[in-house]
Amino acid sequence: MARNKKQLPLLEKVTITDVAAEGKAIARVNEKVVFVPFVAPGDVVDIQLTRKKNSYAEGKAVYFHEYSPERAVPFCEHFGVCGGCKWQHLPYEAQLKYKHKQVIDNLTRIGKIEMEEILPILGSERTTFYRNKLEFTFSNKKWLTEEEVKSGATFDCMNGVGFHIPGMFDKVLDIHKCWLQNDISNRIRLYIKEYCLSHEGYPFFDLRNQEGFIRTLMIRTASTGDLMVVVVFYHEDKERREALLSHVAEQFPEITSLLYVINEKCNDTITDQEVLVFRGKDHIIEEMEGLQFKVGPKSFYQTNSEQAYNLYKVAREFAGLTGNEMVYDLYTGTGTIANFVSRQAKKVIGIEYVPEAIEDAKVNSALNKIDNTLFYAGDMKDILTADFINQHGRPDVIITDPPRAGMHDDVINTILFAEPERIVYVSCNPATQARDLSLLSVKYDVKKVRPVDMFPHTHHVENVVLLEKKK
């Protein structure tokens, strides 16, 4: 016989005091930390505990007694249900304050880092419609909100197009308006949805049972005006596929790259799938300081183009290039930073794990007539070795932009062996950055720190650190 789950307590009239990592806020009750989402410091709330451990608890606000003066009205109708933009209830200035604090707390508490100069966080000029890429999922199992469930209404159509509900791999929240990407994105998504619902033979995909026809939609925009749309189908049905894509092309003549994929796999990833051209080019062009970057359907490119430019400018400024330096660009991706700094360097060597990204990096160098870059593909810890440095020359400057997990110990040890004069460390995770900086501190001092906000209304923050070799 199953044990009855013990009802966790309701905590009444609790004051929210601070913001924690991962976007949750903090309350302290009887010397225990309670993590609560979608609340702001200064809110006074009743908290229904959902999880209780010895050292902390988690809960959700079920009643507001007082609202914090530090609070904004969320602008999106999907706030609180959709997994994105969880900080809409905080004014943007407050978001920047907490992101800056998060960076400094991580560097001082985790890394025990002494910082010579801390520059103010660089906010994003655009706080809505700032993304250049979104991916939507078609599902025959749309998520019903609490209000919809409580209404007792019967829903004849359970088809939805939108984002996966966190923790629910086969449930999708049907998005009416998304505030993340240029409104052309909303118009294209809603048009395709309506076309599929109003024409026979376009069943939305059932991820659990692996059946249906239309699976996912990717939309990429560029500062140049280029527009890419990728429609993914579960199986080939030439007549219906061509009918849909022809109508999309006719309805949206601004699309410069209309592509499709037939994905018969269990999962939705298309990195291992052939992307076919229906209309237009197989890529779009992004531009930065006169440099052109070819972006394909599988290419990695920073999703906030305007703020990426500001991020790279900070990295280049910290690098202090004069034109005579050998630069190593670690985790180079499609070579965006490498090509961006190449005009101010003698030579730039970029290293990246993904072979396709390295091919893009080479194409981007050729596209811009840049001849002082070299690119290598492979696992960083296997490529960047003492032998590699002896062969190619000691770097004067290393720029590193690793994934969220940070750098492998072997990579850090090789950097310490190379002893560049300066290291510019760009990070999307200040916690792992702090750990790595601590390891580098045996030979390097932290001279400058500048957080950069790439993703307004989320808790995510980038951080750029300048390290110089100890004298």
Summarize the annotated binding site for S-adenosyl-L-methionine as residue ranges. 302, 331, 352, 401
Cα–Cα dist 106/156, whole Å? 50
Angstrom distances, CA of residue 63 to CA of 24, 47, 72? 17, 7, 17
**Distance of alpha carbon 198 from its chain centroid, rounded?**
34
428 is catalytic: yes
- Yes or no: say if 96 and 123 are a contact pair by the CB < 8 Å rule: yes
Take residue 183 and report the two structure tokens written for it: 């409104």
Instruction: List the strands of the sheet with 462-469, edge to edge.
Output: 115-118, 444-452, 462-469, 422-427, 397-400, 326-330, 347-352, 373-377
Report whether 101 contacts 26 (CB < 8 A): no
Cβ contact 343:331 at 8 Å: no
CA dihedral in degrees (368, 373, 379, 382; nearest 10)? 170
The helix/strand/coil state of 90 is coil
Beta strands in 155-298 (DSSP E): 160-164, 172-174, 214-221, 227-233, 257-262, 276-280, 284-288, 291-295
Please answer whether residues 41 and 4 qualify as being in contact, where contact means their C-beta atoms are separated by less than 8 angstroms: no
Locate 346 and state its tokens: 């003698």
CA angle 145, 148, 151 (to 5 degrees): 150
DSSP-derived secondary structure letter, 109: I
CA distance 62 to 11: 10
Of the candidates 370, 373, 433, the one whose C-alpha atom is nearest the C-alpha of residue 402 is 433
- Name the residue with tokens 């499609």: 334
- Whole-angstrom distance, CA of residue 191 vs CA of residue 251: 9
Of 29, 16, 128, 20, the C-alpha closest to 68 is 16
CB 135 within 8 Å of CB 189: no
Residue 45 pairs in a beta bridge with 14, 64
Supply 265's token pair. Answer: 């796999």
Bind-site residues: 302, 331, 352, 401
CA-based angle 185:188:189, to the nearest 5? 85
Q: Which residues are bridge partners to 295 per DSSP? A: 284
Contacts of 417 (CB under 8 A, 6+ apart): 386, 389
Q: What residues are labeled active site? A: 428
